């Protein structure tokens, strides 16, 4: 560390992304889609290539309209971002600081505490309930701005919309990170029309198979979108490049492919949940594209290593509460059948 780094950043603990090895593994560790992007996205991106010498539209007007239309909202309710991580960063920069934290679930997306520390806000969390679901009453009762993923990150549990509606009746921001909502949960995006304190964050990284395209978005009341634009235009006005915008438009134009991919993931998730339970695993019921699970008698870290030795990559978190578990991304049916076979060998000691 040099003497030039500002004091306030010296203790920063950055987010650790999941490993990205160069091939050779069945990759079930970072909640990506096992399917390639839509062909329509490829066509759109090819057409965008010829204009890459020019800056893109800083408003990303075309994509903004496509997203607004998809969710039945106005374009003024949408801001597109460089991955939803950037959307989250803008929200923390705009609305959190020392003495003004966002309350979050204790077990959730690991970036929330990182952003809190980056902007100097306290890390305020509520424990999960015994069944690993988010404690809705704690969020309803508190007066802070709140943020949570729904379905929740790492656990895949889902909070019913009626609880979120109760949170919204207090004058504070309710930020719902819907990264995984397309895999069988109910979205609160339509509520943005009537609620000026609801902020929904979305991504094309999961259900629309574009993690490497880096495309996210915020859906909120016009005033909130305008405030987030203050941050965006003070930071990186061309934040979503021409190629990424084209990919995203192509993905939204191919709803048939999107639905097919989502259905296949849901089918593979239900298969996996049943098959691993038959092997004696304990799972948390998931509405997302991953399952948190543990093998009685084997620590999560050890199980992750054993799977890795056999060519299957899953995620393990050594944080309290999660260390007995592994988090397994749902891949294709074929990948999940292999995963189950490998797991069976480990459990039986073969």
Stretch that binds ligand PMP, among 47-55, 81-89, 162-170, 188-196 (CB under 6 A): 81-89
177 is a contact residue toward ligand PMP (CB under 6 A): yes
Enter the DSSP assignment of 336: H
Given a contact cutoff of 8 angstroms between Cβ atoms, the answer to whether 37 and 251 are in contact is: yes
Question: How many whole angstroms separate alpha carbon 83 and alpha carbon 271?
Answer: 30
- How far, CA to CA in Å, does 349 sit from each of 107, 299, 345, 346? 31, 15, 6, 5
Residues 195-214 that bind ligand PMP (CB under 6 A): 203, 205, 211
Q: Cβ closer to ligand PMP: 246 or 342?
A: 246
By CB under 6 A, name the one of 38, 84, 125, 155 that touches ligand PMP.
84
* Residue 200 CA to its chain's centroid (Å): 12
262 is a contact residue toward ligand PMP (CB under 6 A): no
Question: How many whole angstroms separate alpha carbon 147 and alpha carbon 345?
Answer: 40
Q: Cβ closer to ligand PMP: 33 or 77?
A: 33
Residues in the chain: 350
Element at 65 (helix H, strand E): helix 61-70
Per-residue binding letters, 13-32, with ligand PMP (x by CB under 6 A) = ------------------x-
Token couple for 223: 């005033």
- DSSP string spanning 154-221? TT-----HHHHHHHHTSSS-EEEE-TTGGGT----GGGGGT-TTEEEEEESSSTTS-GGG--EEEEE-
By CB under 6 A, name the one of 56, 85, 126, 250 that touches ligand PMP.
85
Residues 110-149 that bind ligand PMP (CB under 6 A): 149
Stretch that binds ligand PMP, among 80-88, 219-227, 305-313, 339-347 (CB under 6 A): 80-88
Stretch that binds ligand PMP, among 68-76, 83-91, 243-251, 270-278 (CB under 6 A): 83-91
Number of residues binding to ligand PMP, judged by CB under 6 A: 13
Given a contact cutoff of 8 angstroms between Cβ atoms, the answer to whether 168 and 220 are in contact is: no
216 is a contact residue toward ligand PMP (CB under 6 A): yes
Q: Cβ closer to ligand PMP: 85 or 245?
A: 85
Per-residue binding letters, 290-329, with ligand PMP (x by CB under 6 A) = ----------------------------------------
Stretch that binds ligand PMP, among 58-66, 82-90, 234-242, 300-308 (CB under 6 A): 82-90
* Residue 317 CA to its chain's centroid (Å): 16
Given a contact cutoff of 8 angstroms between Cβ atoms, the answer to whether 158 and 168 are in contact is: no
What residues make contact with ligand PMP under the rule CB under 6 A? 31, 83-85, 109, 149, 153, 177, 179, 203, 205, 211, 216
């Amino acid at each position: 560390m040099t003497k030039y780094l500002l004091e306030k950043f010296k203790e920063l603990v950055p987010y650790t992304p999941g490993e990205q090895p160069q091939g050779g593994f069945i990759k079930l560790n970072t909640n990506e889609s096992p399917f390639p992007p839509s062909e329509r996205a490829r066509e759109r991106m090819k057409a965008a290539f010829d204009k890459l010498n020019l800056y893109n539209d800083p408003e990303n007007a075309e994509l903004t309209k496509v997203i607004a239309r998809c969710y039945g909202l106005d374009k003024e309710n949408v801001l597109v971002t460089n991955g939803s991580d950037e959307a989250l960063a803008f929200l923390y920069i705009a609305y959190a600081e020392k003495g003004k934290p966002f309350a979050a679930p204790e077990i959730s997306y690991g970036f929330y505490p990182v952003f809190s520390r980056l902007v100097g806000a306290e890390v305020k969390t509520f424990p999960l309930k015994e069944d690993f679901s988010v404690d809705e009453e704690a969020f309803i009762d508190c007066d802070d701005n709140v943020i949570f993923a729904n379905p929740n990150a790492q656990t895949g549990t889902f909070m019913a919309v009626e609880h979120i509606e109760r949170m919204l009746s207090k004058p504070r921001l309710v930020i719902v990170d819907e990264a995984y909502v397309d895999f069988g949960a109910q979205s609160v995006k339509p509520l943005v029309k009537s609620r000026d304190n609801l902020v929904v964050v979305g991504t094309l990284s999961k259900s629309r198979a574009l993690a490497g395209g880096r495309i996210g978005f915020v859906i909120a009341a016009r005033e909130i979108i305008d405030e987030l634009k203050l941050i965006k235009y003070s930071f990186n006005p061309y934040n979503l490049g021409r190629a990424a915008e084209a990919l995203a438009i192509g993905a939204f134009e191919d709803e048939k492919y999107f639905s097919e991919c989502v259905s296949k993931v849901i089918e593979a998730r239900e298969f996996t949940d049943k098959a691993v339970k038959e092997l004696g695993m304990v799972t948390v019921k998931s509405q997302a594209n991953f399952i948190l699970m543990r093998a009685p008698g084997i620590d999560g870290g050890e199980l992750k290593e054993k799977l890795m030795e056999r060519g299957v990559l899953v995620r393990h978190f050594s944080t309290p509460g999660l260390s007995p578990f592994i988090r397994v991304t749902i891949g294709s049916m074929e990948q999940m059948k292999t995963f189950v076979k490998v797991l069976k060998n480990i459990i039986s000691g073969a």
